[in-house]
Amino acid sequence: MINYFRKTALITGGAGFIGSHLCDRLINDGYSVLCVDNYFTGSRDSIAHLLESDHFETLRHDITFPLYVEVDEIWNLACPASPIHYQRDPVQTTKVSIMGAINMLGLAKRLGCKIFQASTSEVYGDPEVHPQVESYTGNVNPIGPRSCYDEGKRCAETLFFDYKRKHNLEIRVARIFNTYGPRMHPADGRVVSNFIIQALKNEPITLYGDGMQTRSFCYIDDLVDGFIKLMNNDEGFQGPLNLGNPGEFTVRELAETIVELTNSKSDLVRRPLPEDDPQKRRPDISLAREKIGWEPKIPLEEGLKKTIVYFEELVRQGCERCS
């Protein structure tokens, strides 16, 4: 039965990897969800299970254009997130980061509602401070192949804080570190999905560079918990706030773990390191512990096992995008 007293949450990028999990969680928590997506990297498959719900609605729309709807809160996630995808049309990546943010902030201003921004650890660039704390202002190349994303997301943060200062908007800004889990796009080239698919198919595992660069991997359910706690925190803490798992692994260690968990026969092979690839990345999450009482609970191996189950099924179905 339709409950007219449910709050409505707008999720831009709701058909993407993180967005689809957030749709699930908010519907479960008693919201109605309006999912806005132009399907640039998202997929209707990710939200197919929600289409029968009375509390779920989708709208195909590109947020670089204005959007007039009535909602109670906004989650702004729309933006391609993997290097392959955000570099495919870099001007569009900058546009969605900046013009998309302006439109969603304009919408929040008109409605007087709270707005959440999915920012990123990429605002720190190739960091000289390790682990990364929120007060670190970053080491970002403004003209490299990653700049469309890094600088786009940095400017979006600027806009969020200027709307807060100028228009007293209630904002939340999360800096998300590498997140993984079921519904990751099989062809977006991210390290966890690449390695799992390669391992399951007993194909060579592609280490870029010497594989000694590090990343910290957060399981999707932990991240979504962090989103909810940040959005709803009682003290009105607005961020920016690091959300990620502080466990740090080399890319080589990740490959070896995945080979072991999948009983794969794959060898590790070396490929050139992409330009401006950060050498190390690990969130300092002291502020998240203090301000919203959050820390991730799911260790890497446990999260990888759940993700492997998802990709096993995709590979078994002969998913075209898995080659």
Q: Which residues contact 223 (CB under 8 A, 6 or more apart)?
A: 18, 176, 179, 243, 244, 296
How far is the C-alpha of 71 from the C-alpha of 59, rounded, in Å? 13
CB nearer to ligand NAD: give 163 or 180: 180
118 binds ligand NAD (CB under 6 A): yes
Task: Answer whether 213's CB lies under 8 Å from 222's CB.
Answer: no
CB nearer to ligand UDP: give 50 or 152: 152
Partner in contact with 17, chosen from ligand UDP, ligand NAD, none, beta carbon below 5 to 8 Å by kind: ligand NAD
151 binds ligand NAD (CB under 6 A): no
Phi/psi of residue 230, nearest 5 degrees: -65, -45
241 binds ligand NAD (CB under 6 A): no
Phi/psi of residue 248, nearest 5 degrees: -110, 130
User: Which residue is at the shortest CB distance from ligand UDP?
Assistant: 106
State the catalytic residue, choosing from 31, 86, 124, 149: 149
Q: Which residues contact 315 (CB under 8 A, 6 or more apart)?
A: 197, 200, 201, 322
Q: How far is the CB of 101 from ligand UDP (least distance, A)?
A: 9
Active site residue 149: yes
13 binds ligand NAD (CB under 6 A): yes
Residues 33-52 that bind ligand UDP (CB under 6 A): none
Contact residue for ligand NAD among 58, 94, 120, 245 (CB under 6 A): 120
Q: Please, what is the Cα angle at 139 between 135 and 143, to 5 degrees?
A: 135
How far is the C-alpha of 2 from the C-alpha of 162, rounded, in Å? 38
Residues 293-322 that bind ligand UDP (CB under 6 A): none
Residues 265-294 that bind ligand UDP (CB under 6 A): 274, 277
Residues involved in catalysis: 149
